[in-house]
Amino acid sequence: MELIETQKKRLRSRAHALNPVVLIGQHGLKPTVLEEITIALEHHQLIKIKLSVGDRDLRDEMIEQIIQYSQSQLIQRVGNVAVLYRRNTDRPDILKEQAF
């Protein structure tokens, strides 16, 4: 399901207060990191990840790999931080919850 801009705006505002739940460092994307991202998305639906990679093109490529693997959507990317969303049908929809 593709999100419309108002939904993305709402998710961006909710993500503002979040801390990164997954930190990707010099060792890059390993299968365990990808699994951790998938588990975090199943539980939280909306997460921040921090990629400590100096090269912008490599960082963009890693984000694209994460999105494809986790079947999530990129909500926002600012510098080294990306915000991802994936709806979990077993949990209440965070798009319908009141923000704060």
Q: What single-letter DSSP state applies at residue 2?
A: P
Q: What band does 99 get if pLDDT is binned at 50, 70 and 90?
A: low
Flag whether pLDDT at 64 surpasses 90. Answer: yes
d(CA 26, CA 78): 19
pLDDT of 91 reads 75
Would you kindly state where each structural domain of the chain is located, as residue ranges? 5-85
| Angle between helix 31-44 and helix 56-70 axes, rounded to 10 deg | 60
- The domain at 5-85 falls in which architecture? 2-Layer Sandwich (3.30)
**Region 49-54 average pLDDT:** 91
Q: Is 45 left (phi over 0), alpha (psi -120 to 50) or beta?
A: left
Residue 79 CA to residue 75 CA, distance in Å, equals 13
Virtual torsion, Cα 33, 52, 45, 73, nearest 10 deg: -100
Query: Distance between CA atoms of 41 and 52, rounded to whole angstroms?
Result: 20
pLDDT tens-digit series, residues 7-38: 899 999 999 999 999 999 878 889 999 999 99
Q: Say yes or no to pLDDT of 94 above 80.
A: no
Residue 100 has pLDDT above 70, yes or no: no
**Chain centroid, CA 95 distance in Å:** 15
